[in-house]
Amino acid sequence: MEDNDVPDRRISASQVAVIWNKRAKAEKGVDARYTRFSVRGRRKELDGEETSLGWLYSEKKAWSIPLRPRSSGREDRAEANKTPFRKKQEPSAA
| Tens digit of each residue's pLDDT (9 = 90 or more) over 43-70 | 999 999 999 989 999 999 999 998 875 5
Q: Express each pLDDT in 16-27 by its tens digit.
A: 999 999 998 998
Confidence (pLDDT) at 14: 95
Position 73 confidence tier, pLDDT thresholds 50, 70, 90: low
Helix (H) or strand (E) holding 82: helix 75-82
9 φ/ψ sector (left φ>0, alpha ψ -120 to 50, else beta): beta
The answer, yes or no, to whether residue 36 has pLDDT greater than 60, is yes
How far apart (Å, rounded) are the C-alpha atoms in residues 45 and 54? 17
* pLDDT higher than 90, residue 6: no
- Do residues 52 and 59 touch, judged by C-beta distance below 8 A? no
Where does the pLDDT of residue 29 fall: very low under 50, low under 70, confident under 90, or very high at 90 and above? confident
Closest CA to 41 of 76, 16, 75, 24: 16
Query: What backbone torsions phi and psi does residue 77 show, to the nearest 5 degrees?
Result: -100, -15
